[in-house]
């Protein structure tokens, strides 16, 4: 085989030589010009040289030996990709039982794991100090140097993990794909892509350096489709991303190419943008300018930092956490920052009292003697914290990988309800104009996601409807059928019922025509019977009739409840659709977390590390951290509660207590708040430019969405909404429903493919 390299082909002799040369595949692994089939072949050849592959083969070689069997099985339960959970392994005794060659292979794997999991600089592998340690530990072992790790062992291990992950994902349905872009410290543009399963497992599958490429909607569609085609298009149920121009277009194009995929906007980005819209309002600008200026001034001054520490040590009961700066793109951090300043007001007043650090014109807001200026500033600070807290509460819950589309519906409505309640609180003293502006923002953002906006989807109301406890409560507004329509007797939330029935019919039609699930494809050419069957099941579910009256445990979650109904002849369709809807991952936070790992791997002194190497290290790191987890993945998705948030946001704990945070902030705190810059510790990510506060709302758009919240089928005063963001657990009371037996129609064959649904009466 010969062809021009620009067409992505290599000669037969060169292809055959790839396997024999350990370092010859370095470029071929990541070359976007190489034909996909050849690139996969390169991955396979690379994976054959992976340290874990060699360990596995060595274990197989002694499989007939009883001692070898014992060694192989020591350490606990078998986990992901056949790995052994190593949480309780006695490594010293295990090493003693290994032969020399096998121990060396295991040592190479352990070194690869160490460098990736701990983020050690690869240059360490070529240092004399490192070689000395290993020489004394095992003089017969020749450790890999920097080149071996970066060009051979880490990429090979990453390729092995990728191949095994792809094969594992081919056994799942209802996968979710997410993607996002970023820029490395070295100035390289990159895009990451993750895929998740209904078991809440999330895998990093693609990291692509794309500095020289234009990231158009078509480019992003092609980027996503390569992974989708590798696993199987029919196995995907959703694609989620933020909604910038190119990502929204790319998501739309993917959904057109694969009809079974539901395009979903990242709810975390959407809610964060809602906070951004609110804090950009002109009446908050002065207060936010003061907050940012004071925190920046203290952070960038050695004397300021020293005085802040000293004042905290003097003030009795000083809060456990210090000041938190505002991030460049995370508008929610504005509220964290405001709250951090609010809880540290006594500390800042002590700094002014000591008189050693000059705060300039901002000193007047922290005068130890109460005056009009300090009172007005503290009240304005309280307004920002109070108006922004519901959104931060909701964001905290929705950043979880286990959050469902139902959680989006519940928490967004809870955020809206609490924010509207705050506006009407006389103690907050918001002016009429201020109330109207904030309400307009809420209406506009609500309509975008749940109404008729460009991001709207009925997946959210459908997912909420498919949570059994919502049906047996006042979660949805009481809207019975007009004139007591007999077909819909006992259905008290008809508006929601109609939207859910329409959405489920739509996604079912696409699954029937383009999917591969036998439970749905059997209905091809039998559309009328299918629609009738689906409506009957949805009615029975709404009325809580058998088999949909089974007990529901919120600690187990909806997926297990619906899975238990799959083999019942009276629930043939609805459980399959419910599992699809409730399996959707509704955020792209894994892209953010991977970006955070990239930042961690490339501090200023290591900014030259390539995107491809960071991607390989991160994939290996995620894999080994996953296999050491003590619990196997399951469909269990307990209800997300907001109990522990008070201690993290309203933290008034004294320094050294409970939270254990020092004046500068600690690693544990930063892990808890990956999107928050604790005490300005990450100076490079601080945003001290006030230009982003410019008011950029489209007034016409805001007013066009008025009335969207009132039109919602959800009751904002229902127990589930009011309890969603409370500090206490809601009660689990539910209504008792009657049961009735439904007959199953005989399914004749035919040529009926009209899935239109008529619910107008």
Identify the pLDDT of residue 73. 40
In sequence order, which residues have a C-beta less than 8 Å from that of residue 533 and are 6 or more positions away?
572, 573, 745
Stretches where the chain sits below pLDDT 70 are 1-34, 36, 61-91, 320, 328-330, 484, 641-704, 727-751, 759-761
Q: What is the pLDDT of residue 57?
A: 82
Measured distance CA(528)–CA(261) in Å, rounded: 24
The pair of three-digit structure tokens given for residue 143, joined into one six-digit string: 């450790």
- Please choose, from the candidates 507, 407, 402, the residue with its C-alpha nearest in 3D space to the C-alpha of residue 463: 407
**Lookup: tokens for 516:** 């591969």
CA separation for the pair 369, 362 (Å, rounded): 15
Q: Give the pLDDT confidence score for residue 95 in this predicted structure.
A: 73
- Determine the Cα–Cα distance for residues 384 and 401; give it in Å rounded to an integer: 29
How far is it, in rounded angstroms, from Cα 749 to Cα 78?
A: 46
Rounded distance between C-alpha atoms, residue 255 and residue 238, angstroms:
8
CB 343 within 8 A of CB 291: no
Closest C-alpha to 467, from 92, 144, 734? 734
The reported pLDDT for the residue numbered 658 is: 33
- Token pair belonging to 420: 């509207």
DSSP 233: G
Whole-number Cα distances in Å, 268 to 255, 398, 451, 675? 21, 7, 18, 12
Q: What is the CA radius of gyration of the chain?
A: 29
pLDDT of residue 16: 45
402: DSSP letter: T
H-assigned helices in 143-281? 146-148, 154-169, 217-231, 245-257, 267-279
pLDDT at residue 185, as a whole number: 87
Nearest CA-CA partner of 464 in 506, 417, 407, 416: 407
pTM for the model stands at 0.85
pLDDT, residue 210, reads 93
The helix/strand/coil state of 287 is helix
SS3 189: strand
In the block, residue with structure tokens 């390299």: 5
Cβ neighbours for 112, distance < 8 A, ≥ 6 positions apart: 51, 144, 149, 153, 154, 157, 620
Where do the domains of the chain lie, and which CATH numbers do they carry?
5-160 (no CATH), 170-266+588-609 (3.30.420.10), 459-582 (no CATH)
Question: 548: which strand partners?
Answer: none
How does pLDDT run across 646-664, given as a tens digit for each residue? 555 555 544 443 333 323 2
As a whole number of angstroms, the distance between CA 14 and CA 403 comes to: 48
Contact 295, 683 (CB under 8 A): no
Q: How far apart are CA 164 and CA 52, in angstroms?
A: 12
Rounded distance between C-alpha atoms, residue 194 and residue 419, angstroms: 33
For the chain, the helix, strand and coil percentages under 3-state DSSP, each to the nearest 5: 55, 5, 40
Helix (H) or strand (E) holding 724: helix 719-724
Pairing of strands 189-196, 202-209: antiparallel
CB 56 within 8 A of CB 48: no
Convert 734-751 to b/e letters by CB count within 10 Å (16 or more is b). eeebeeeebeeeeeeeee
Nearest to 344, CA basis, from 296, 309, 383, 300: 309
């Amino acid at each position: 085989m010969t062809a021009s390299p620009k067409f992505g082909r290599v000669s037969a002799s060169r292809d055959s030589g790839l396997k024999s040369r350990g370092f010859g595949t370095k470029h071929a692994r990541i070359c976007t010009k190489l034909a996909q089939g050849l690139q996969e072949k390169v991955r396979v050849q690379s994976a054959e040289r992976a340290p874990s592959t060699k360990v596995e083969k060595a274990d197989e070689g002694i499989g007939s030996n009883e001692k070898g069997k014992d060694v192989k099985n020591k350490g606990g339960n078998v986990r992901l990709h056949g790995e052994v959970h190593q949480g309780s392994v006695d490594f010293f005794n295990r090493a003693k039982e290994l032969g020399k060659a096998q121990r060396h292979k295991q040592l190479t794997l352990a070194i690869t794991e160490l460098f990736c999991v701990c983020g050690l600089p690869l240059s360490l592998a070529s240092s004399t100090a490192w070689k000395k340690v290993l020489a004394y530990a095992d003089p017969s072992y020749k450790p890999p140097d920097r080149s071996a790790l970066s060009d051979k062992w880490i990429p090979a291990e990453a390729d092995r993990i990728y191949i095994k992950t792809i094969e594992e994902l081919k056994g799942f349905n209802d996968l979710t794909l997410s993607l996002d872009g970023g820029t490395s410290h070295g100035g390289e543009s990159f895009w990451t892509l993750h895929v998740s399963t209904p078991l809440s497992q999330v895998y990093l599958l693609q990291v692509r350096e794309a500095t020289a490429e234009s990231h158009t909607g078509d480019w992003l569609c092609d980027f996503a489709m390569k992974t989708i085609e590798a696993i199987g298009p029919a196995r995907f149920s959703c694609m989620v991303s933020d909604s910038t121009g190119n990502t929204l277009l790319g998501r739309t194009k993917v959904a057109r190419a694969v009809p079974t995929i539901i395009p979903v906007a990242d709810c975390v980005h959407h809610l964060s943008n809602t906070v951004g819209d609110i804090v950009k309002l002109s009446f908050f600008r002065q207060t936010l300018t003061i907050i940012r200026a004071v925190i920046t001034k203290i952070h960038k001054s050695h004397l300021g930092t020293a005085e802040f520490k000293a004042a905290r040590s003097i003030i009795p009961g000083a809060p456990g956490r210090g000041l938190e700066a505002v991030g460049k793109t995370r508008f929610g951090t504005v509220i964290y920052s405001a709250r951090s300043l609010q809880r540290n007001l006594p500390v800042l007043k002590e700094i002014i009292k000591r008189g050693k650090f000059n705060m300039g014109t901002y000193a007047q807001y922290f005068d130890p003697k109460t005056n009009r200026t300090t009172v007005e500033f503290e009240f304005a600070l309280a307004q920002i914290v109070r108006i922004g807290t519901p959104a931060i509460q909701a964001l905290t819950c929705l950043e979880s990988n286990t959050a469902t589309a139902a959680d989006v519906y519940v928490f967004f409505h809870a955020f809206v309800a609490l924010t509207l309640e705050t506006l009407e609180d006389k103690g907050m003293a918001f002016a009429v104009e201020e109330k109207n502006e904030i309400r307009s923002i809420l209406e506009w953002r609500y309509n975008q996601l749940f109404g008729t906006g460009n991001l709207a989807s009925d997946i959210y109301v459908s997912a909420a409807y498919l949570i059994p406890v919502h049906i047996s409560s006042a979660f949805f507004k009481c809207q019975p059928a007009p004139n007591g329509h007999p077909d819909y007797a006992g259905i008290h939330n008809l508006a929601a019922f109609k939207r859910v029935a329409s959405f489920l019919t739509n996604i079912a039609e696409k699954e029937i025509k383009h999917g591969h699930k036998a439970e749905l494809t059997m209905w091809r050419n039998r559309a009328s019977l299918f629609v009738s069957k689906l409506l009957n099941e949805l009615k029975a579910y709404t009325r809580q009739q058998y088999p949909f009256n089974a007990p529901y445990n919120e600690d187990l979650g909806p997926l297990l409840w619906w899975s238990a109904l799959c083999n019942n002849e009276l629930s043939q369709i609805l459980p399959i659709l419910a599992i699809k809807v409730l399996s959707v991952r509704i955020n792209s936070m894994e892209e953010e977390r991977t970006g955070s790992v990239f930042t961690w791997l490339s501090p200023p002194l290591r900014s030259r590390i390539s995107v491809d190497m960071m991607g390989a290290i991160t994939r290996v790191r995620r894999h080994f951290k996953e296999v050491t987890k003590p619990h196997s993945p399951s469909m269990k998705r307990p209800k997300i509660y907001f109990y522990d948030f008070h201690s993290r946001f309203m933290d008034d704990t004294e320094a050294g207590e409970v939270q254990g945070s020092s004046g500068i902030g600690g690693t544990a705190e930063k892990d808890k708040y990956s999107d928050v810059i604790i005490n300005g510790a990450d100076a490079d990510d601080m945003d001290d430019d006030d230009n982003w506060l410019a008011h950029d709302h489209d007034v016409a758009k805001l007013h066009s969405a008025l009335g969207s919240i009132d039109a919602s089928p959800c009751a904002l005063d229902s127990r589930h909404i009011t309890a969603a963001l409370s500090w206490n657990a809601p009660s689990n009371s539910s209504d008792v429903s009657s049961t009735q037996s439904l007959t199953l129609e005989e399914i004749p064959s035919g040529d009926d493919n009209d899935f239109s649904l008529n619910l107008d009466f």
